[in-house]
Structure 1
Amino acid sequence: MKILVVGSGGREHALCWKLAQNPMVEQILCAPGNGGTAQVGSNVAIKDDDIPALVALARNEQVDLVVAGPELPLVLGLANALEREGIPCFGPNAYAANLEGSKAFSKNVMADSGVPTAPFRVFDEFESAVAFIKEKGAPIVVKADGLAAGKGVIVAATEQEAIDAVQDMMVKKSFGSAGDRVVIEEALQGEEASFLAFCDGTNYALLPSSQDHKAVFEGDTGPNTGGMGAYSPAPILPEEKYAETAELCIKPILRHLAAKGEPFKGVLYAGLMYTDNGPSVLEYNVRFGDPECQPLLMRLETDLLEIMFACIDGKLDQIDVKSTPQTACGVVMAAKGYPGSYPKGMEITGLDDADAMDGVKVFQAGTKFEDNKTVTSGGRVLCVTALGDDLAAAQKKAYQAVEKVHFDNCYFRRDIADKGLKRLG
Structure 2
Amino acid sequence: VKADGLAAGKGVIICSCKKDAEDALISIFKDNAFGSAGSRVVIEEFLEGEEASFIAVVSKDKIVPLATSQDHKAVGDGDVGLNTGGMGAYSPAPIVNAEIHQKILNEVMFPTMEGLIREGYPYLGFLYAGLMIKNNNIKVLEFNCRFGDPETQPILIRLKSSLVELCLSAINEKLDSYSIDWIDKHSCGVVIASNGYPESYDTNKEVKIKLNEDGDLKLFHAGTKYKNNKIVTSGGRVFCATALGNDLKEAQKKAYNLVDDVNFEGSFFRKDIGFKGIK
Normalising by structure 2, we get a TM-score of 0.93
Partner amino acid, structure 1, of 2:268? Y
Query: Could you tell me how far apart the structure 2 residues matched to 1:406 and 1:179 are?
Result: 35
2:226 — aligned with what?
Answer: 369
Query: Could you tell me how far apart the structure 1 residues matched to 2:40 and 2:201 are?
Result: 31
Partner amino acid, structure 2, of 1:363? F
2:121 — aligned with what?
Answer: 262
Task: Map 1:236-255; keep pairs closer than 5 Å.
Answer: 236-239=95-98, 241-255=100-114
Match of 1:295 among 145, 154, 170: 154
1:189 — aligned with what?
Answer: 48
Matched, 1:339 2:198: yes
1:162 — aligned with what?
Answer: 21
State the Cα distance separating 1:344 from its structure 2 match: 1.5
State the Cα distance separating 1:170 from its structure 2 match: 5.4
Matched, 1:402 2:259: yes
Matched, 1:179 2:38: yes
Query: Could you tell me how far apart the structure 2 residues matched to 1:229 and 1:173 are?
Result: 28
Query: Could you tell me how far apart the structure 1 residues matched to 2:135 and 2:155 are?
Result: 27
Task: Map 1:4-83; keep pairs closer than 5 Å.
Answer: none
Q: Which moved more, 1:168-177 or 1:318-327?
A: 168-177
Partner amino acid, structure 1, of 2:37? A
Matched, 1:317 2:176: yes
Q: Is the 8 A contact 1:209 1:238 kept in 2?
A: no
| Structure 1 gaps, min length 5 | 1-141
Q: Is the 8 A contact 2:223 2:235 kept in 1?
A: yes
For residues 183-235 of structure 1, give each alpha carbon's deviation from its aligned partner in whole angstroms, at most 9, with x where no partner exists.
22211111111111111121110111101111111111111111111100011
Q: Whose Rg is larger? A: 1
Match of 2:91 among 232, 235, 245: 232
SS of the equivalent of 1:411 reads coil
Query: Could you tell me how far apart the structure 2 residues matched to 1:388 and 1:249 are?
Result: 31
Match of 1:207 among 62, 66, 91: 66
Match of 2:274 among 414, 417, 421: 417
Q: Is the 8 A contact 1:188 1:275 kept in 2?
A: no
State the Cα distance separating 1:239 from its structure 2 match: 4.2
| Structure 2 gaps, min length 5 | none
Match of 1:274 among 128, 133, 141: 133
Q: Is the 8 A contact 1:357 1:401 kept in 2?
A: no
For residues 86-115 of structure 1, give each alpha carbon's deviation from its aligned partner in whole angstroms, at most 9, with x where no partner exists.
xxxxxxxxxxxxxxxxxxxxxxxxxxxxxx
2:186 — aligned with what?
Answer: 327
Q: How many residues align?
A: 279
Query: Could you tell me how far apart the structure 2 residues matched to 1:224 and 1:265 are?
Result: 30
Q: Is the 8 A contact 1:202 1:314 kept in 2?
A: no
Query: Could you tell me how far apart the structure 1 residues matched to 2:264 and 2:12 are?
Result: 31
Query: Could you tell me how far apart the structure 1 residues matched to 2:102 and 2:80 are?
Result: 33
Partner amino acid, structure 1, of 2:276? K
Identity of aligned residues (%): 51
Query: Could you tell me how far apart the structure 1 residues matched to 2:236 and 2:157 are?
Result: 23
Q: Is the 8 A contact 2:195 2:267 kept in 1?
A: yes
Query: Could you tell me how far apart the structure 2 residues matched to 1:192 and 1:317 are?
Result: 29
Structure having the larger proportion of residues in helix: 1
SS of the equivalent of 1:305 reads helix
State the Cα distance separating 1:150 from its structure 2 match: 1.9
Cα 1:319–1:415 change in 2 (3 A) is: same
CA root-mean-square deviation: 1.8
2:6 — aligned with what?
Answer: 147
Matched, 1:219 2:78: yes
Cα 1:163–1:199 change in 2 (3 A) is: same
State the Cα distance separating 1:259 from its structure 2 match: 0.7
Cα 1:187–1:239 change in 2 (3 A) is: same
Query: Could you tell me how far apart the structure 1 residues matched to 2:19 and 2:260 are?
Result: 43
Cα 1:239–1:325 change in 2 (3 A) is: farther
Q: Is the 8 A contact 2:100 2:136 kept in 1?
A: no
Q: Is the 8 A contact 1:189 1:275 kept in 2?
A: yes
Partner amino acid, structure 1, of 2:217? V
